[in-house]
Structure 1
């Protein structure tokens, strides 16, 4: 097994506009994706964030410290080439959305779910025109096809970079509605993450914390917040 690791060879990472896209150069050399595609992103803030990650590298390149670069690479190498499949997969969450599956007991949990999750379902109806209905128990009951069609169209309308970020917002939270709420700034990302953890937090209150579960939850929380930042960078709404 080789011990070779990529090391920093450049002095300066810079941002450059190419037509309507942006790229990053290392001492004038264009950055490529792992699949050797051109790293072209839709906004200057996104390109700047990528350049900052490259500029921060010292000695050996540490990919785990470059989350924006990693997500941009995934958008170009994976999501862009199978956009419809990824969008279909995410839109399918609408028919089994976390916010719709409610406990039938105990009463305190039922009330907490209703108080905290119903407002987000109302938001989805008002902002997206899609009314999803809560269900008691774990048995699947299909949602209104018209509502699901609306959510599917909204998902398919996302470009590859926003869809790559949206993938993590939805899959980490288990909720298409939470994903859209985060993308559209309906609530602070931290608050939305906590809403996705309602059931786990309830269990912790009843039985105490599990250190391993807490550690895994923190990793997922950080990934959710990164996905929200990545979505904003792809829209050019955050520096």
Structure 2
């Protein structure tokens, strides 16, 4: 069965400055979210990227080619309405942060993990006064409650739009600490992505990678970098 797709129905894409930011217009009419809310964003930079996505659509609309629109829809329709629940969900990643669970061996992999992840954990411990415990193997380790609260407090201060971006960063990488390093510009997003993939890279070196796994990894990388850039479009300076 052929999947139905919406067709392009507009000729011109433009922006309008409104009370709470910027609205994207299609032939003079404001874009709406799937829940029929007005799509209004706080910065012109983000509005420009959303407008470019709509303008790039040809005869058929491909939502998968519109990550800035997707994250904005999520921010308005979901995160704004369920802010506390989203914060709780993302803060829980610190309890099992990817950077805290290390291999028992071989020694080469153990060293790679330490070289890649220890500096990020040390940065978070100093930046947020939130040291986390490192464990070997897959057994769950209880993290300091004060550290978990301080990390949660940091993401609580984000706007719904920022939190939508951070949601993608955390869910893709499996690391709250690595995601905070991205939004605080501790390291570039592409570098953080490589650091988070130490395990995968080691496995590929030893066992190879099939085309399906490669495609999934590349898709995750693109989504991770889009989320990082989405957050950057929300910076006012």
Equivalent in the alignment of 2:109: 109
Q: CA deviation at 1:2?
A: 9.6
Residue 132, structure 1, aligned to residue 135, structure 2? no
Equivalent in the alignment of 1:235: 235
Q: Unaligned 5+ residue runs, structure 2? A: none
Query: How does 1:1-239 map onto structure 2 within 5 Å?
Result: 5-236=5-236
Change in 2 beyond 3 A, CA 1:120/1:4: closer
Aligned-partner Cα distance in 2 for 1:202–1:134: 20
Is the CA contact 2:169–2:224 (under 8 Å) kept in the aligned structure 1? yes
Is the CA contact 1:44–1:236 (under 8 Å) kept in the aligned structure 2? no
Is the CA contact 1:162–1:235 (under 8 Å) kept in the aligned structure 2? no
Q: Unaligned 5+ residue runs, structure 1? A: none
SS where residue 81 of structure 1 aligns?
coil
TM-score (norm 1): 0.94
Q: Deviations over 1:39-64 (max 9, x none)?
A: 01111111111111111222222222
Aligned-partner Cα distance in 2 for 1:12–1:140: 54
CA RMSD of aligned residues (A): 1.6
Aligned-partner Cα distance in 2 for 1:74–1:134: 33
Is the CA contact 1:46–1:236 (under 8 Å) kept in the aligned structure 2? no
Q: CA deviation at 1:212?
A: 1.8
Aligned-partner Cα distance in 1 for 2:65–2:100: 36
Greater displacement, 10-19 / 152-161: 10-19
Aligned-partner Cα distance in 1 for 2:206–2:23: 50
Q: CA deviation at 1:15?
A: 1.2
Is the CA contact 1:166–1:179 (under 8 Å) kept in the aligned structure 2? yes
Aligned-partner Cα distance in 2 for 1:55–1:210: 35
Runs of 4+ in structure 1 off by over 6 angstroms are 1-4
Greater displacement, 56-65 / 139-148: 56-65
Q: CA deviation at 1:29?
A: 0.6
Q: Deviations over 1:124-163 (max 9, x none)?
A: 1222221112111211111111111000011111111111
TM-score (norm 2): 0.95
Greater displacement, 42-51 / 16-25: 16-25
Is the CA contact 1:168–1:227 (under 8 Å) kept in the aligned structure 2? yes
Q: CA deviation at 1:80?
A: 1.0
Q: CA deviation at 1:5?
A: 4.2
Change in 2 beyond 3 A, CA 1:236/1:53: farther
